[in-house]
Amino acid sequence: MKKVEVLAPAGNLPSLKAAVDQGADAVYFGFRNATNARNFEGLNFSAAEAAEGIAYAHRKGVRAHVVLNTHPQGVQPSLWYQTVDMAAQLKADAIILANMALLEYCHDRHPDLPIHLSVQASASNAEAINFYQRHFRCVRVILPRVLTVPEICQLRTQTTVELEVFAFGGLCVMAEGRCFLSSYVTGVSPNIEGVCSPARAVRFENQGDRLQTRLGGVLIAEYAKGEEAAYPTICKGRFAANEQVYHVMEEPGSLNILDILAEVIEAGVTSLKIEGRQRTKSYVATATQVLRQAVDAYYADPKTFRPKGKWIRTLNATSEGATHTLGTYQKNWQ
């Protein structure tokens, strides 16, 4: 039985090495330029660092995937094509793309470089996935965080493309990379900014004995004195609905599928992805180690597998709000 892949994020070279050392089967990273939706100050890779990271991964038998998940801009579109070329030259094991022009370019110029369809493409049905396979030879799709386990099972019967799903980390319940709510409130695309709530649009304001959080001037939530305040994102805000004020779309918390790990693996997925290229080396090491242990425990005895409490507690300690959620995998809110 071929084991499901544990795929870890790498925002820098130390994080990549930590992921490899803690048992990742593959790592993913982006370059230090606008082709990367996590192009934050102090993160990501130069060409030399990428070469060192790929060599380190390959020495340990670990695959290295390059992320190129933004869309070419009119000012300097050549940068995106040059980055595809660089990934091929560095012998990356796969490149993660969303833009159709880049998909065609990679397909035509670098036929030996496996293409993984980015979550930014929002391909969540068999017709879309098979379209990308047919026209661009995509071998894997990274599924948006909007599908239930039964829906993933159904997809598995309708396509031969590998399915990669998010297993731990940040949760996005909107169309990945195209959140119109965030774009409307902040005036910028999450795909270009690399984040749905840019720091410059965020405000924490004291109003009497209450704390208000705002995004682009819009009130996201209000907290009583001593209550822990979440970073303001639209999907995790508190809003008035049905004569109540509550988290209408999603509770603040991190995605963690350990409670349904067996179901997800048995749905036929190829890869379990840890989100968090913007997170610390410690976060990467911890999340990779726990998911590695859990996956190995499942394959040791699938019939009796149960997630250990210490795994949940360890991951919760790194989670937003120190809590976790299954998000839309179960869609309890429907």
For 187-327, where are the alpha helices, taking DSSP H only? 190-193, 261-266, 281-300, 309-316
Distance CA(148)–CA(146), nearest Å, equals 7
Distance of alpha carbon 31 from alpha carbon 43, whole angstroms: 9
Each residue of 139-171: pLDDT tens digit? 999 998 888 999 999 999 999 999 999 999 877
* 128-142, 244-258, 298-312: segment of lowest average pLDDT: 244-258
Task: Give the pLDDT band of residue 255 (cuts 50, 70, 90).
Answer: confident
What confidence category does residue 27 fall into, taking pLDDT thresholds of 50, 70 and 90?
Answer: very high
Which residues sit opposite 205 in a β-bridge? 212
DSSP codes, 88-134: HHTT-SEEEE--HHHHHHHHHH-TTS-EEE-GGG---SHHHHHHHHH
Alpha-carbon span 141 to 119, nearest angstrom: 7
d(CA 134, CA 129): 9
pLDDT of 7 strictly over 70? yes
**Would you give the DSSP letter of residue 319?**
S
* Per-residue pLDDT tens digits for 44-100: 999 999 999 999 999 999 999 999 988 888 878 999 999 999 999 999 999 999 999
- Lowest mean pLDDT of 115-119, 240-244, 246-250, 305-309, name the range: 246-250
Higher pLDDT, 251 or 282: 282
Q: Is the per-residue pLDDT at 323 higher than 80?
A: no
Distances (CA, A) of 226 to 209, 256, 265: 10, 26, 40
Question: What would the pLDDT profile of 169-210 be if each residue is shown by its tens digit?
Answer: 877 766 666 678 888 899 888 777 767 888 889 999 998 889
Give the model's pLDDT for residue 334. 46
Q: What is the band of 332 on the pLDDT scale with cuts at 50, 70, 90?
A: low
Count CB-CB contacts under 10 A for residue 305: 15
d(CA 190, CA 312): 30
Decide if 165 contacts 186 (C-beta within 8 A).
no
What separation in angstroms does the CA of 108 have from each of 22, 30, 124, 134, 320? 36, 22, 25, 13, 42
Write the CA distances from 127 to 6, 134, 160, 161, 184, integer angstroms: 27, 10, 12, 12, 29
| More confident of the two residues 175 and 2 | 2
Rounded to two decimals, the pTM is 0.88
pLDDT band at 133 (very low <50, low <70, confident <90, very high): very high
Mean pLDDT, residues 284-302: 97
**pLDDT at res. 178:** 66
- The answer on pLDDT for 18 being more than 90 is yes
User: Distance between CA 30 and CA 37 in Å, rounded?
Assistant: 8
Residue 247 or residue 31, greater confidence = 31
Q: What are the structural domains of the chain?
A: 5-171+253-329 (3.20.20.70), 194-247 (no CATH)
